[in-house]
């Protein structure tokens, strides 16, 4: 039986894969496990702007209360805000209803532990075991049934935290904000305005259906175009739950997570704040990042894809900075998880302190041509089981020559196999990645219609 929890909680098509019944079962199981079976836990709940959010929130909260939990509803709030509130309150855990960068039809539920970190696999396994046998969960009776309250004060405390982390005014800056019609639609313009920036908002009018639709961190074209049209200093594109950000310089050039990490790692080292001179990134980060870090005496440590794996390795190494090319960046001095808005503020503050445009700061890194192909398949794990995979991959690297890199892996959240190539010959890469896509489809099967 497939594992219920993926790399970022439980996720699927709302009302087909992730039903109100499953959400209720998750609530009952989570309340039991997170309360250690011996007390009524206090659990914070936030969500993004998806149409299915109200439905799933009601079901999740019903399950939490049925198992005796006390629930505080935070409303529409970025995922990292829920993590921050969980860590800095007296709550036992936090829960977020969101499918991040996925289309509006999808939704998900993920949990944070008392320290604001994503749950370890063991805890998720314990919750999942109870979900699969939920009838044996003890149901609260009488005065022990859980209660629900709303609390909007935490939003203000989170905003104060973001402003304090920035450390300078952004007065004089013009910033385009693309909130992907998601969780940051209100809070991002508000924070930037309070810091003195002139905000040009786009995709900040959610209707429950338009989240991530042709906008946000996966579709930065309109943001970058607006930066050029409005002669802005920078642009920000968040995803649906605002745990990641992709930026634009003043010329409309995309600035991804690798470049954001490079700039900040070098700054932190020069400021004496890059503990152990290490930056944690994933196997998807560009060779150019590795070379830039080596040039500045910074060790690059790679992990599997997923900000939870980055966060775990950062804790093991006592690192203060880590992240993903996709824009999940963790500044451990301020947060326990990827935070798109906090990340954007660190870059804008760096621009202010340096007195340089973003296009100048990004020159610290020269990236190798990279191609990524997302292949929708029937069985995303078949390539890992295929005996001929290693031979094909070795042949591809020989064909691309040195320096080159390749990674073929299943997505943690979608029925997709991701192919990544890096090399110096873009034309050759185009040919090779097409051949690889056909090989993957042959092994993994085309998706069912």
Domains recognised in the chain with CATH numbers: 10-151 (3.40.120.10), 156-253 (3.40.120.10), 255-364 (3.40.120.10), 370-444 (3.30.310.50)
Q: Name the pTM for this structure.
A: 0.90
Minimal CA–CA distance to 346: which of 250, 261, 242? 261
- Asked if the bond preceding 204 is cis, omega within 30° of 0, the reply is no
Rounded Cα distance between 28 and 104, Å, is 25
User: What percent of the chain lies above the pLDDT cut of 70?
Assistant: 99
**Sheet arrangement for strand 148-150:** 10-13, 106-112, 93-97, 42-47, 70-76, 148-150
pLDDT of residue 449: 59
Q: In Å, what is the CA distance from 438 to each residue of 102, 150, 370?
A: 25, 51, 19
pLDDT of residue 31: 97
Answer yes or no: are the C-beta atoms of 63 and 167 closer than 8 Å: no
pLDDT of residue 3: 85
Residue 37 reports pLDDT greater than 70: no
Residues paired with residue 406 on neighbouring β-strands, in sequence order? 421
Residue 443 in 3-state DSSP? helix
Return all residues near 156 (Cβ < 8 A) that are at least 6 apart: none
pLDDT of residue 441: 95
Q: At what angle do helices 257-270 and 287-295 cross, to 10 degrees?
A: 10
Rounded Cα distance between 212 and 220, Å, is 10
* Residue 1: pLDDT band with limits 50, 70, 90: low
Mean pLDDT along residues 334-348: 98
pLDDT of residue 36: 80
pLDDT of residue 414: 82
Catalytic (active-site) positions: 100
pLDDT digits (tens, 9 = 90+) for 165-193: 999 999 999 999 999 999 999 999 999 99
pLDDT digits (tens, 9 = 90+) for 411-449: 877 889 999 999 999 999 999 999 999 999 999 999 875
pLDDT of residue 152: 86
| Structure letter (DSSP) for residue 213 | T
Residue 48 reports pLDDT greater than 70: yes
First to last CA, the chain: 23
Answer yes or no: are the C-beta atoms of 182 and 49 closer than 8 Å: yes
Answer yes or no: are the C-beta atoms of 68 and 39 closer than 8 Å: no
pLDDT of residue 166: 96
Mean pLDDT along residues 389-401: 92
Residue 363 reports pLDDT greater than 70: yes
pLDDT digits (tens, 9 = 90+) for 91-130: 999 999 999 999 999 999 999 999 999 999 999 999 999 9
Greatest Cα pair distance, the chain, in angstroms, is: 70
**C-alpha dihedral, 367 to 263 to 242 to 353, nearest 10°:** -140
Q: Share the mean pLDDT of the chain.
A: 95
């Amino acid at each position: 039986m497939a594992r219920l929890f993926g790399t970022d909680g439980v996720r699927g098509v709302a009302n087909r894969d992730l039903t109100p019944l499953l959400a209720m079962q998750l609530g009952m199981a989570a309340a039991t496990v997170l309360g250690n079976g011996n007390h009524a836990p206090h659990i914070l709940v936030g969500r993004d702007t998806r149409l299915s959010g109200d439905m799933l929130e009601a079901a999740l909260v019903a399950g939490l209360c049925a198992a005796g939990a006390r629930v505080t509803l935070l409303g529409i709030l970025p995922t990292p805000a829920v993590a921050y509130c969980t860590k800095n309150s007296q709550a036992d855990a936090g829960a977020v209803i969101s499918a991040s960068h996925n289309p509006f039809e999808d939704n998900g539920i993920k949990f944070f532990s008392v320290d604001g970190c994503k749950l370890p696999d063991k805890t998720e396994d314990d919750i999942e075991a109870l979900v699969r046998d939920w009838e044996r969960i003890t149901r609260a009776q009488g005065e022990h049934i859980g209660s629900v309250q709303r609390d909007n004060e935490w939003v203000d405390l989170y905003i104060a935290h973001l402003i304090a982390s920035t450390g300078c005014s952004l007065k004089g800056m013009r910033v385009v904000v693309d909130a992907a019609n998601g969780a940051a639609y209100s809070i991002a313009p508000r924070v930037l305005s309070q810091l003195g920036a002139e905000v040009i908002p786009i995709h900040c009018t959610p209707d429950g259906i338009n989240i991530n639709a042709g906008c946000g961190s996966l579709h930065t074209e309109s943001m970058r175009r607006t930066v050029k049209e409005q002669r802005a200093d920078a642009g920000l594109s968040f995803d649906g739950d605002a745990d990641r950000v992709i930026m634009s310089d003043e010329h409309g050039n995309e600035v991804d997570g690798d470049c954001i990490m490079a700039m900040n790692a070098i700054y932190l080292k020069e400021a004496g704040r890059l503990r152990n001179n290490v930056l944690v990134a994933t196997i998807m980060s560009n060779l150019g990042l590795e070379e830039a870090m080596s040039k500045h005496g910074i060790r690059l440590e790679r992990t599997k894809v997923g900000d939870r794996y980055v966060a775990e390795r950062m804790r093991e190494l006592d690192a203060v900075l880590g992240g993903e090319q996709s824009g999940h960046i963790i500044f451990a001095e301020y947060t326990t998880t990827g935070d798109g808005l906090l990340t954007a503020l660190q870059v804008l503050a760096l621009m202010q302190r340096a007195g340089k445009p973003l296009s100048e700061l990004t020159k610290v890194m020269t990236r190798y041509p990279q191609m990524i192909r997302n292949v929708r398949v029937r069985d995303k794990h078949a390539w890992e089981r295929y005996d001929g995979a290693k031979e094909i991959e070795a042949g591809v690297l020989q064909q691309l020559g040195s320096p080159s890199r390749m990674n073929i892996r299943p997505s943690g959240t979608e029925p997709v196999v991701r192919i990544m190539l890096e090399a110096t010959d873009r034309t050759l890469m185009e040919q090779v990645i097409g051949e690889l896509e056909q090989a993957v489809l042959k092994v993994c099967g085309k998706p069912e219609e």
